[in-house]
Structure 1
Amino acid sequence: MTAPEQILTNARLVLDDEVVEGSLAIRDGVIAAVDAAPSRSAAAIDCAGDFLLPGLIELHTDNMEKYFQPRPKVAWPGRQAALAHDAQMAASGITTVFDAVSIGDVDEQSMRHGALHEMVAALGDIVDDGLARVDHRLHLRCEVSHPDTLARFEALADAPLLGLVSLMDHAPGQRQFASLDAYRTYYQGKYGLDDRALEAFIAKQLANSERYSGEHRRAIAERSRALGLALASHDDATVTHVAESREYGTRVAEFPTTREAAEASHRQGMAVMMGAPNVVRGGSHSGNIAASELVRLGVLDILSSDYYPAALLDAVFRIADMEGGYSLARAVATATRQPAEAVGLADRGRLAEGLRADLLRVRPVDGHPLVQRVWSAGRQVH
């Protein structure tokens, strides 16, 4: 239950453009006051100089899928899987999460399709039953080259939690895999295919992309716009890709693979999103553009934890510390205000009076940001 009023004092408040020492009051689940001065209330919680941030907002993570399939061919009960994922989000300081589920998969043996509706249903159940610690939304990742993607998208297009749709094409020669050599290396290693099986696999993916990608991309984009859903591109690599994405009304450019595509997306008004693991590891695991380079160019707008939830907060502080990086206020905005704005969530993402009290108390220890407390709509969840 949310306390009627809570006051946090002696905190370093990360505001839109600056960091100030002061206090913040929470009442009825929203921020009631933000003051650049200590509170005199005897009941105030002393934050001991810790940072107070808006709760982190995650637009793209496939973390939930790992709980539903913790090992190959192992399915986990839906509610338990959803709750374990939810707990990890809270512990990572993520108070709003767009849980990404994949529609269409190049691996025909994958359990993703079979678990798709169970994941969506389980997520809805923990939200409806009041069991979720944080605010969950749904992100449909649509593999446009898969034959069944359009039908599967239509089956979920009216899901109550749906808020974001991304358009992907992982076929050889496309976007992330513009290099066929890189494609061969990745999928031969991933699936253990011999040379003959790999060539057959490539031929099938090429045929599917040629037949389905254009039609599915257009149809899903049009349907998403009609439903008022935010649309994201995925792995754009060229100015042509960016122009196509812009034509479809794309708001978020997920993981552009080149400087050219990132800069073009930024110029076109799309929010450029990069993976926090890319920042933490010092580069892309697949050899694409480094997120740190886009920070130095000033064109990285949003961070996503992608496959490692704890990376999000870590990356925020790293880009604030790096040479040529962002100020702390701007770095925090990449995981709070800017993702909120990109998907139309006007009630969160900032420390401002009247907004939802999603908060994160952070203490740097040996250069690493440690989560001390997390509040979701004024309720402490970690």
Structure 2
Amino acid sequence: MMALHPKIIDLTLDRVWRLLHALDDPQDKLPPVIHLAGTNGKGSTQAMLRAGLEGAGKRVHAYTSPHLARFHERIRLAGELITEEALTALLDECYRANDGETITYFEITTCAALLAFARTPAEYTLLEVGLGGRLDATNVIEAPALTVITPISLDHQQFLGDTLAEIAGEKAGILKRGVPCVVGPQPDEVLEVIEARAARLGAPLLVHGQHWTAWEERGRLIYQDENGLLDLPLPNLPGAHQIGNAGMAIAGLRHLGFDEAACEAAVTMAFWPARMQRLRSGPLVESAPGIELWLDGGHNPAAGDALATHLASLPARPTYLICGMLNTKDIAGFLRPLASHAVSLDAVSIPGEAATLPAETTAEVARSVGMTAHADADVPGALARIAAEAPEARVLICGSLYLAGRILRENG
């Protein structure tokens, strides 16, 4: 499938529409769809929405990307990851229907997911945008039940534009005529773009700070909208930024008519790996028994800010970073907020990724933002070096979802 197009990313919907028509238009036969776009928090917000819906007894399809350890993570059918047998049959069917035409890997696998969702009974379908929104392969649903736009920041500028307003225009491409949209915390220039498009389409907005808000108070999550106030446990996904993600999920659930029990399930039952995930077992953990080991896949400046805020909230402990990044990212922008929170950074290349940044280059950028940095051959070697220097340290492995996936696979 990856040989069917010379590029990994080529934003257009023409090829997707062609294949979907050949598959008898499964996108028109889905359970009610919640479509999510944004730069940061899409996956966590989707995980909380799924937890809330399932907590209310609903069967939920979910589509997300990229996967971390195995492709099956991308397609969840009525609550369960797709089986190997079902996935193989779907991909074979889509490959035959495509008949050798040009199509990207993400496009054809998205069509496979939509086909699976159309054939499996459920009450809701959660679709996470892969890149952008307007021309993303998931943007083929004529009338979703709800759309969600999570916080937008600079990322993927080579595809989406150089300014926040341009990127917002692409993300806001998921808005549909008359369909409500939950909008997370946004910079003013982003919100202006979303509001203008919503006005043209007559799409009602549920905007953070205008129609709903969420905050932490005395170790609880407080959510308020025009229908009243909820006093809930804090999200089980760690990090202050998860308060806003929980707020978006709760706003969506409340709009869809779900009660407080569903909202509580959203914040207490969600699980989303490689988002400030504490690793507690496995070969990597066992190799450095005194180390407190964390894993995160964030890779842009907004993610760096969120990680820095979370590290500052943890009990005092010497903190070290092991970082591998792709050469398409704003490395300095990601590392700058983290510089004051880390004793040093050990840079690694991401094995098997053609676009990985060489370890020495990552180390050079880290030094340019004021960090002490070393280049290492791999994560186990970096962890061993840190453990020898500070056997009781906190270590955060970060910089890329691709690196995070590698760690989850290797650590069992």
TM-score, normalization by structure 1: 0.30
Q: Which structure dedicates a bigger proportion of its chain to strand?
A: 1
Of the two structures, which has the highest relative contact order with CA contacts closer than 8 Å and spacing of 6 or more? 1
Q: Which structure dedicates a bigger proportion of its chain to helix?
A: 2
